[in-house]
Amino acid sequence: MTNESKKVLILLGSPRKKGNSAILAQEIAKGAEAAGARVESLYINGMDIKACQACWTCQKKDTKGCAIDDDMQSIFPKLIEADAWVIASPVHWFNVSTQTKLWLDRCFALTAYGKNPFRKKIGIAMSYGDTDPYTSGCINAIRSFQDSFRYVGAKIEGIVYGSALNAGDISQNTELLKEAEKLGEKLAR
């Protein structure tokens, strides 16, 4: 498979379209595109993604998939088609954003949409308002991703994270932006 055929899907989980985690995701996209991958970004805050209802329809034999009729129905095929996912989220109240958590919980239904749907390369981009990844809760968010993706057998290729409170502040961290771009290149291979 050549780099030109690789597809990277970016899920922007912040309510800020131009927030710090989105800036990190843009740098990841830049690296992936430079390496020849096709990149698509979804701003999940602007989508209708309902909470999982624990109905287990998606886990039943001969299921047609998730029973909830919302925008996840259009996201599931994109998740399946992509070679790599990038999840970009700010830290809100010591963990991932609500928008990101809704999306992550609904990925429970992915097994109904294809064989080994989680066999993807995963990139994580996080921003937090505190000066420390521990006291901010960023470590909790990272751990949530690590546990979730380990459980389903997906491989996290890299995690970039940094401190930035106000929208755009992360742009000043040039070393982190370079690291994000390198992660994009890695995801495109």
Positive or negative, the Cα torsion across 172, 90, 88, 158?
A: positive
Question: Which residues, given as ranges, of the chain have pLDDT below 70?
Answer: 1-4
Closest C-alpha among 50, 48, 44 to residue 13: 44
Q: What share of the chain is helix, strand, coil (3-state, %, to 5)?
A: 45, 20, 30
Residue 164 tokens read as 């930035």
End-to-end CA distance of the chain: 9
Please give the pLDDT value at position 153: 87
Number of domains making up the chain: 1
User: Which stretches does DSSP call E strand in the chain?
Assistant: 7-12, 38-43, 84-92, 95-96, 121-128, 155-163
Q: List the domain range (segments joined by +) for residue 22.
A: 3-188
Please give the pLDDT value at position 22: 98
State how far the Cα of 109 lies from the Cα of 117, in Å rounded to an integer: 10
Quickly tell me which residue has 């919302």 as its tokens.
Answer: 70
DSSP for residue 177: H
- Could you read off the pLDDT of 105-117 as tens digits, one per residue? 999 999 888 777 8
Residue 59 CB neighbours (<10 A): 11
CATH of the domain at 94: 3.40.50.360
Please give the pLDDT value at position 1: 44
- Could you read off the pLDDT of 149-162 as tens digits, one per residue? 998 889 999 999 99
